[in-house]
Amino acid sequence: MHTMRSRTRRSGGAPATGSRLRVTVSLTVALVLGTIGFLAAGALAGNARQSSATISLRSTSLGSILVDSKGRTLYLFMKDRRGKSSCGGMCATYWPPLVTKGRPTVGSGLKASLVGTSRRSNGAMQVTYNKHPLYMFVQDAKPGQTKGQGLSFFGGRWFAVSAKGTAVVKAAGSGGSTSTSTTTTTTPYPDSPYP
């Protein structure tokens, strides 16, 4: 009889130990997820504080052109008119606009008087230079790449932007010739029906 009671106590105690283990694991997981959430929220808040765009110049094979704070080439879209963007929806997916929440700033060699903003259809403020809305190109994976130069998609051509705020249509050192980039005939947009 005594042996039966001991076994009953032991087997009765096992569920309590298993329950404690499950509670401990659940609390540990909740603590880890809470910490990750807290850190992510802090990172987002930091990004919100650093939301004013900066443009500067970078030397490339096209000459000195505008880039964002990470060195990515900035483009203008020839279809844009009167400082307003004509690139939305799928176009903006492949040519992300340079947006800002604060006053945009410029690096040396650029005129602060040429920098402005234009309200997009979704309410975001897009940075402009010499009244041209500025964009990046998704296939420019590294700083200084200019894979979007001279492409003709979404109803207009895309060009890097000079320090004067004009389209760069010839490569640096071309000796005054008007050699422009050739228009691409295949779409650089994977899975997109839009040329």
62-87 pLDDT per residue, tens: 999 999 999 999 999 999 999 999 99
pLDDT digit string, tens, across residues 137-178: 999 999 999 999 999 999 999 999 999 999 999 765 544 433
- Separation of first and last alpha carbons in the chain: 86
Q: Provide, rounded to the nearest whole percent, the portion of the chain with pLDDT above 90.
A: 58
Three-state DSSP state, 94: helix
For the beta carbon of residue 145, count every other beta carbon within 10 angstroms.
16
143-146: long-range contacts, CB 8 A cutoff, minimum separation 24 = 143/58, 143/67, 143/70, 143/71, 143/72, 144/58, 144/60, 144/67, 144/71, 144/73, 145/72, 145/73, 146/60, 146/61, 146/62, 146/65, 146/73
pTM for the full model?
A: 0.65
Residue 47 has pLDDT above 60, yes or no: no
Separation between Cα atoms, residue 127 and residue 101, nearest integer Å:
10
Which stretch of DSSP H or E encloses residue 126? strand 125-129
DSSP 8-state symbol, 78? T
Domain boundaries, the chain: 1-50, 54-160
